[in-house]
Each structure stands twice: as structure tokens, then as C-alpha cells.
Amino acid sequence: MKVLGLDIGFGHTKVVSDGVKMKFPTMIAYAPNDPYAELDVVNIAGMSYVVGRDARFSQFGIEIPTVAELVKYAPVFLRYVTGILGEFDVVVTGLPPNCKAYVPVLKQNLESVASGTQFEILPQGVGILYDVMDKISDEVIIVDIGYNTVDCVVAKEHQGVWKKSQVVTFEGFGVMKCVELMRDILPQSLEFFRNRSASRLLDAFERGYVMLDGEKVALDSFKAEAQRKYGEILMAKIKQELKGDYRAMAQVVIAGGGAYYIDPKQFGSGVYVPQEPEFSQARGYYKCGKEE
């Protein structure tokens, strides 16, 4: 049985399958009508798209600002993956916990390009639980730090069965919040970059520098300060929303791409960060699919 764990995030799409791991920017654009363009094209319902880095600088880019667009264009990302890896018997993916109403639509959309495939759609954060459940205690809070959102899952294990007691999503508290904090403390000499949107600054944030008049300008000190503030803000938000559940839990798991940008010590002593945390969700989806 061939299984795919597919984590379509607002920043990157992560893929895990049998001996395969890959990620690419969650970006699409209409394919240009240029016979000389060397691009991998995805064709769906009479439309042609380019995906990932090929779409990054396209003048025909399609914005994906909300879950509605993510669900609409999910078949394009799946078809892009199957074009590389082949078809799958089972595909497990997920949506933010507060987007349960989109589950039937997402499933129908995905089935439209893979009718012979079995699909399972989990709340984001549950995939991480599948990934780490053999490494954690029997009471845990999963903190999944994504591009736009942070998903928290409070779960407890009893007699070999894990049950969720609370699942919440924090809109606007993902990695982009940290980028915004860095942008706000940039000095006057970098005024040009202070006027850019946070999404356009994301690459510079991840690299740790910008190019200005042909010279590399390090952002390390501004990035470190932003990360410290971001950790404090996120910690306060989690405690506010989860209340006593946070203090009562034996362990906290921090995963998702945003795990690279916080100091685990800010979240207490019993914190576990899985290896390559940005792939934790997709790994868990894959493990879930193998159990089907």
C-alpha cells in the first residue's frame, strides 16, 4: 500500500512517503503561454499551472491568503506531487481545527484528481501527535507553529488510546508575526525594507540578511530580538487560551516550521521538539495512513 502524508501549509507544502521527503513553496501561478519556458506544468480541468519555486516570481501568480483558497487549489498541489512520485493508495492531509466545515469540500476536490485514492483529513496538530506519540508522556500539548496560524492540541492517553480534550487555532500568530516584529525594529538605514510586506520579507528573515545596493546586510541581531519577543507573545497567548490545561500538562511538543524561531526554554522545562520539526505533521499523516 502506497501512502502519502501531505501537509499543505500557507508557507510550504511538506510531503512524506515511502523513503521520500520533500517540500516546496505553497505557490501557484497560471502557466505562461511560452513554448520556450522550461517549467513543470500541472494540467487540471483545462487549466495549466506552475507550482512552487516556478511560481514565485510569475506575473500570473494566484494568491492563497485563506483556507478557502487552500482548499480550492489543493488538487493542484496533489497533482504536482503525484506527477513526481506517482499515484497513491492512501493520502492523509489536514486542515486547521477551526476549519472543520471545509473538510467535505477538500475531500471532494482532492478526489476529483485522484478518484481511486482513499483520503483522510485530520485536524492539524493531530499529525504531529502521531509522529511523536512513542516519544512523549501520556499527557501533552501539541503546539504547531505554521506560516499564518498556530494550532494547539491538548491530548491525553488512556489504555493505549489518545483522546483530544481541547483543540484551538490562533489566527495571525504564526511565523509571519515574528517577521512583522523584526520589520518593526529595523533601523532607519533599512527603511526600504520596513516598507515591505511581511510576506515579501520572509525570505530575508529565513536567510538572516538582505542585499542593499549590492552589499549583504546582516539581520541577525534584529531577528534574535524579534524571536525573543515572538516567544513571549506566543507563550502569553497559549496560557491565556488554554488556562489551567497548560500548567497541568506534563509535556509540551513544539513543531512546525516556526519551531526554528522560538527558544523552547520559554515554554518550560518539559518541551520536546521533534527532529526536522517542519516535517513532523507530514510524518504523522504518513504514519496514520500506514495504520489504515
- The rounded distance, in Å, linking the Cα atoms of 55 and 52 is 6
Residue with cell 515554554: 267
> For 29-33, 53-57, 283-287, which range has the lowest pLDDT when averaged over its residues?
53-57
In the chain, the amino acid numbered 223 is: K
- pLDDT score of 176: 93
> What single-letter DSSP state applies at residue 135?
S
- pLDDT score of 36: 65
Residue 99 and residue 57 share a domain:
yes
44 belongs to a structural domain: yes
Residue 94 and residue 63 share a domain:
yes
99 belongs to a structural domain: yes
130 belongs to a structural domain: no
CATH number at residue 43: 3.30.420.40
Residue 151 and residue 104 share a domain:
no
Q: Provide the number of structural domains found in the chain.
A: 2
184 belongs to a structural domain: yes
Residue with cell 502521531: 130
- pLDDT score of 198: 78
Residue 42 and residue 119 share a domain:
yes
137 or 253: which leads in pLDDT: 253
Domain enclosing residue 85, as ranges: 3-123+281-291
Could you give the percent of the chain with pLDDT greater than 90? 63
- pLDDT score of 165: 86
- The rounded distance, in Å, linking the Cα atoms of 61 and 64 is 10
pLDDT grade, residue 203 (50/70/90)? Answer: confident
In terms of residues, how long is the chain? 292
- Cell numbers for 180, please give them: 512583522
Distances (CA, A) of 282 to 4, 46, 74, 152, 196: 8, 30, 15, 16, 31
Residue 265 and residue 140 share a domain:
yes
Distances (CA, A) of 273 to 25, 34, 128, 144, 146: 23, 45, 11, 11, 14
pLDDT grade, residue 5 (50/70/90)? Answer: very high
Residue 250 reports pLDDT greater than 80: no
Residue 58 and residue 27 share a domain:
yes
Q: What is the mean pLDDT of residues 220-237?
A: 96
The kind and range of the H/E element at 192 are helix 191-194
Residue 266 and residue 143 share a domain:
yes
Residue 285 and residue 266 share a domain:
no
91 with 244: CB under 8 angstroms? no
Residue with cell 513526481: 84
81 or 251: which leads in pLDDT: 81
In sequence order, the 6+-apart residues with CB closer than 8 A to the CB of 173 are: 149, 150, 233, 234, 237
Cα 86–Cα 147–Cα 288 angle in degrees, nearest 5: 45
Within the chain, strands assigned E span 3-8, 12-17, 20-25, 28-30, 41-44, 47-51, 61-62, 90-95, 118-123, 139-145, 149-158, 161-171, 209-212, 215-218, 251-255, 271-272
Residue 238 and residue 184 share a domain:
yes
- pLDDT score of 166: 86
- Cell numbers for 282, please give them: 507530514
Summarised one tens digit per residue, pLDDT across range 145-161 is 999 999 999 998 888 88
> What single-letter DSSP state applies at residue 243?
T
Mean pLDDT of the chain: 91
Q: What is the mean pLDDT of residues 203-214?
A: 89
Residue 62 and residue 145 share a domain:
no
Residue 148 and residue 96 share a domain:
no
pTM: 0.91
Q: What is the mean pLDDT of residues 22-34?
A: 89
131 belongs to a structural domain: no
251 belongs to a structural domain: yes
128 belongs to a structural domain: no
Residue 260 and residue 208 share a domain:
yes
54 with 34: CB under 8 angstroms? no
The full 3-state SS of 150-180, as one line of letters, equals: EEEEEEEEECCEEEEEEEEEEECCCHHHHHH
Distances (CA, A) of 277 to 16, 89, 194, 255: 13, 26, 29, 5
